[in-house]
Structure 1
Amino acid sequence: MSMTRKTLLSAIAALCLTGASSAQAQQASPARFTIAVIPDTQNYVDFTHQKAEGFPFDAREMMIEQFRFIADNAVSRGGDIVFATGVGDVWQHPTIAIDPSHEARGFRARPLPSGMNPDRWTRGVREVEIPASVDAYRLIDGALPFSVVSGNHDYDAQWWEESWPRDLTAPEGDLRRLGMIHVGGLVEWTRAFGAESSFFRDRPWYVASHDGGADSAQIFEAGGYRFLHIGLQFAPSDASLKWAETVIHAHPGLPTLISTHDFLNKDGERLPHPVVNQTVVDPFDNDAEGVWSKLVSRNPQIFMVLSGHHNGQSFRMDRNRSGGAVYQILSDYQDRNQAALDAGMAADKAPGLGDGWLRLMTFDMAGETPSVRVRTYSTHFRVYASDQPDYARRYKPNEQPQMTDEDFLARDEFVIRLDDFRARFGAGAGGGRN
């Protein structure tokens, strides 16, 4: 049974951390380690957000800062970050009108409304966005194991399908004016981040892949345990979910995390985006509830699900079919625009970039009950959320205006007690006392 929203917010607020002050991850101990979660980076590398297009600065440098921070604080370099996972929407624009697979199945696409020439999109993504994304990931390549999954913006094609037309009578800004957006094709994605890319080919910790690497699995060791991580493409098909289950069965007993682009919304619900709802248009795909019912709830090794896509942050805990806790965490800061405002852009013109915010989840495996300290850190401002006096004033109005400042901060800095972790996965190599 899900925790009620009121109970959840009260619990998170009570656990809010205010003592984080160091900008550097602490050196790893046998019992403590950190997983870095990289929220949607699409607006950093958007080719229109670079100096060459008249933007005040090269926003892609903010993505570079994030990855340099992760690399500098990896265990291999004296820090405590053992694994990093990107939750999708790495870049911004599509490259083609419709992918061959959907066209062959009878889909008919109409282009998304835009004043931009599609040929310009193609050049921008191939010449700026993808190279900038690859350059960022190269900074952590060799420093630690990592995963990256596709978001809806990473697909080759993104269109509104003609059977779900735009409602041009809806008010300006109403999402119904976009129709039902559909995506397809991962040629560019798998070329950059697929199983045969230089990032993952022949890496011993990259243990399995599916659909050219659109779905993938990694192993990392920390805190006396071996962990399995599975990355799933956006709106994964039944074939993707069945593949993931075979990977779990091939690694019995390992505590397992899932990263996928769209899972929780900012209200902590497993609901599809009102416009990008693949399952409405394509029965081959699964929404968040489908992923829960067909994969997560029925595999007791899965104890955590990480996601992005929905601007904001949320947390939810549900019990799987075996009664085990599954902690679900949304992290997406792509609409935060303070950096653009600081550069002198007018409030109505300053685009969301992300302001360098990412998630640092520090696991403490000592004692009878392990815990995870979830913090939000900006590599641009070099500060944790709890140390930023204007944090709620800057971001709450756009993300959670109904919340108090305290509750808003509690969404970004809190502690999860892994109450049943030992019972499910044993004491670990250190016997729970390392």
Structure 2
Amino acid sequence: MSTSDRSGLGRRSVLSAALTVPAATGAATALGAGSATAAPSSARRPSKGGRFDDESPRFSLAVLPDTQYLFDADSSDPEPLNATFRYLVSERAGANIAFMTHLGDVTEHGTKDEISLAADTFRTLHGKVPYSVLAGNHDVDGSTDDQRGDTEYLRAFGPKRYAAMPTFGGASPDGYNSYHVLRAAGRRWLVLALDWRVSDAGLRWAQGVLDEHPTLPAVLTTHDIAWSDEKGAARLSSNGQRLWDDLVRGNDQIFLALGGHYWPPGRTVLTNDAGHDVHLHLANYQDRYYGGAAMIRLYGFDLVRGAVDVETFSPWFLDRAPKKRTPLEAETIELTGPTDRFRLDIDFAARFRGFDGTTLPAPRPASRVTPRGTVAYWRFDGSGLAGRGKPGSAVAEGTVAHDLSGHGNDLRVQLLHDSAPEILTRDAGHHLSQPAHASLRFDGGKGPDRGAVLTTTAEAPLNGMKFLSGYTIETYLKLPDPFEGDHAWMGILSWEGRNGDAGKTTGWSQDDPSCSLNVTPERYLQFSLYPHRQDANPTNWSHALPVGRWTHIAVVNDGDRTDMYVDGSKIARNPAQRSSGIATLGKPFVIGGTQSAEKFGQGFYGWIGDTRIVSRALRPRDFLLEVR
């Protein structure tokens, strides 16, 4: 790092780091991330056997920031970096490590001796884990850009070094910028490694690489892109602003940008010209004990969960017997502060859809999704919801959601208590498999009670149906992220009335409705049922629902017992108790709430999409989800 790049930043950062080290451990504990001396989840003892699996939906990207104090004239010590590389090699299969990228400032002075020692150290990794390295201002003359010509760095870490790597795609004519294309999670990804100071020619080259690979999600790596305050809030540096304006913001492919150079570490999220998130991270630990001890970050991509789990640790200290670690080694083995260990929630399909060549399934007409036995089907696009309005517009009280099964079970909007019309709005969001490409956004809650519900009329046939031969109830929903406020036991759908009035004596309360689908305080689904034939209350419980992600739910009864499915998978907590029919009382069916003692206490909070009721048990392959 050069303190001349931002006046006074280096000194303030050093003092801040020195003063806050003891507090970092406490902050980590408060965040629930565990003790600073605990081994990270990816920090396992070396695993044996196995290979990198490029089809697995889970893989890791290793990020190595400034190592300059380990290659500093006659005080150099390459052993921490050797340990990091040995770890990456031994754990490539265990952590499914696809690639490693160095963020620059490999050395302190960029001398021949320092560069040669660093280049020799990289032999531990070479040919075993593909990687990229870029120049920092300490590896080259910091006053120059990528047109500087020949240097010791270029001779050691220029294009020739990567030529044999299967991921290497090419380099700029000057040799200081390169790109790699790696395969992971069954698809290709692009990594751009840009010089400390990219010239206009370098930017044109980088744009050309993106243009040649227009469908690949891209990670941009460079030495100087952002600085951070003491609280970890990152901001673009002057060079980062140039990269953002001239390259990142206009290329939707770039979803993650990584830099070093400054400390303390930090992160932020910016919005590009396509309206999408770009995660911007600063990682640098040279101010920590032993120059950072070659700490690595593992970015654990999980395309099933839609998440990236990030952790930061030192394999060198990890490799030592716990009883032999000094206090500073034990303190630095893993960093668990909010800028060192965190999770990114990314809907990869949605984030990449604008450029990766995939197309959304076309909406399916109601005639294709109303099989034999369908008694009600509601959707909230132009064909199902009366009136007109753009996404975000309020749905007026009394608006009709037509029953597209043709059985007359239309729903009408009712605002609860003194709720404003904006409590229910039209939305374009939907599950990828949903027949209609639209939904309703409910903003219900407690204290003061608020919400909106959609109910059938008093004459609707659905109100009194008993479903003695079985049924399938399906809906799509999404919970907001963040999931704020108290929404415990909010209802998704239900029949009005008291189960006590149907002669039921079991269960939690006779004031509960005879059938309802609810969300518990832990975000579990609860399907609470009072069957027509049995005096019983068999209840299905799911796992905790994710936030910020669409989920398909199906409740299936075969006339004897009931199973719940989430995204086509049967849940564990399905009761074996017999359950025949639903003890309906001829009262309205409801979407968006559940009554107690025939009163709505709160409305649903989140999104609800297509909802269908069929008077027989469907197989998963026949769900709206179209599970195959």
Residue 324 of structure 1 contacts residue 420 of structure 1 at CA under 8 Å; is this kept in 2?
A: no
Q: Is 1:376 equivalent to 2:376 in the alignment? A: no
Identify which of 202, 208, 227 aligns with 1:265: 227
Identify which of 88, 96, 117 aligns with 1:70: 88
User: What residue is the counterpart of 2:402 in the other structure?
Assistant: none
SS at match of 1:409: coil
Identify which of 356, 362, 365 aligns with 2:300: 362
Residue 265 of structure 1 contacts residue 314 of structure 1 at CA under 8 Å; is this kept in 2?
A: yes
User: Following TM superposition, by how much is the alpha carbon of 1:409 offset from its aligned partner in structure 2, in angstroms?
Assistant: 0.9
User: What residue is the counterpart of 1:126 in the other structure?
Assistant: 112
User: What residue is the counterpart of 2:344 in the other structure?
Assistant: 416
Residue 32 of structure 1 contacts residue 365 of structure 1 at CA under 8 Å; is this kept in 2?
A: yes
CA, structure 1 residues 182+417, in 2 after alignment: closer, same or farther (shift >3 Å)? closer
CA, structure 1 residues 356+144, in 2 after alignment: closer, same or farther (shift >3 Å)? closer
Partner Cα distance (2:297, 2:351) in 1: 27
Q: Is 1:219 equivalent to 2:239 in the alignment? A: no
SS at match of 2:265: strand
User: What residue is the counterpart of 1:87 in the other structure?
Assistant: 103
User: What residue is the counterpart of 2:282 in the other structure?
Assistant: 330
Partner Cα distance (1:392, 1:188) in 2: 33
User: What residue is the counterpart of 2:249 in the other structure?
Assistant: 297
User: What residue is the counterpart of 2:165 in the other structure?
Assistant: 203
Residue 190 of structure 1 contacts residue 213 of structure 1 at CA under 8 Å; is this kept in 2?
A: yes
User: What residue is the counterpart of 1:99 in the other structure?
Assistant: none
User: Following TM superposition, by how much is the alpha carbon of 1:312 offset from its aligned partner in structure 2, in angstroms?
Assistant: 2.1
User: What residue is the counterpart of 2:70 in the other structure?
Assistant: 44
Identify which of 236, 242, 247 aligns with 2:204: 242
Q: Is 1:153 equivalent to 2:143 in the alignment? A: no
Partner Cα distance (2:69, 2:149) in 1: 21
User: What residue is the counterpart of 2:154 in the other structure?
Assistant: 190
User: Following TM superposition, by how much is the alpha carbon of 1:311 offset from its aligned partner in structure 2, in angstroms?
Assistant: 2.1
Same amino acid, percent of matched pairs: 31
Identify which of 27, 33, 42 aligns with 2:59: 33
User: Following TM superposition, by how much is the alpha carbon of 1:184 offset from its aligned partner in structure 2, in angstroms?
Assistant: 4.9
Partner Cα distance (2:96, 2:146) in 1: 39
Q: TM-score scaled to structure 1, two decimals? A: 0.64
Partner Cα distance (1:36, 1:265) in 2: 21
CA, structure 1 residues 393+142, in 2 after alignment: closer, same or farther (shift >3 Å)? closer
User: Following TM superposition, by how much is the alpha carbon of 1:48 offset from its aligned partner in structure 2, in angstroms?
Assistant: 3.0
Higher helix share: 1
Q: How many residues align?
A: 312
User: Following TM superposition, by how much is the alpha carbon of 1:393 offset from its aligned partner in structure 2, in angstroms?
Assistant: 11
Query: What letter matches 1:416 in structure 2?
Result: L
Residue 230 of structure 1 contacts residue 259 of structure 1 at CA under 8 Å; is this kept in 2?
A: yes
SS at match of 1:217: strand
Higher relative contact order (CA 8 A, sep 6+): 1
- CA deviations 1:214-252 (Å, max 9, x no partner) are 100101111122101111000211111111111011012
User: Following TM superposition, by how much is the alpha carbon of 1:15 offset from its aligned partner in structure 2, in angstroms?
Assistant: 7.5
Residue 158 of structure 1 contacts residue 183 of structure 1 at CA under 8 Å; is this kept in 2?
A: no
Larger radius of gyration: 2
Residue 146 of structure 2 contacts residue 174 of structure 2 at CA under 8 Å; is this kept in 1?
A: no
Residue 66 of structure 2 contacts residue 284 of structure 2 at CA under 8 Å; is this kept in 1?
A: yes
User: Following TM superposition, by how much is the alpha carbon of 1:36 offset from its aligned partner in structure 2, in angstroms?
Assistant: 0.5
Higher strand share: 2
Unaligned runs of 5+ in 2: 1-27, 320-324, 359-431, 434-566, 568-628
User: Following TM superposition, by how much is the alpha carbon of 1:421 offset from its aligned partner in structure 2, in angstroms?
Assistant: 4.3
Alpha-carbon RMSD: 3.5
User: Following TM superposition, by how much is the alpha carbon of 1:64 offset from its aligned partner in structure 2, in angstroms?
Assistant: 1.4
Unaligned runs of 5+ in 1: 1-11, 51-58, 95-124, 162-180, 273-286, 340-352, 396-405
CA, structure 1 residues 391+15, in 2 after alignment: closer, same or farther (shift >3 Å)? farther
User: What residue is the counterpart of 1:106 in the other structure?
Assistant: none
Residue 147 of structure 2 contacts residue 199 of structure 2 at CA under 8 Å; is this kept in 1?
A: no
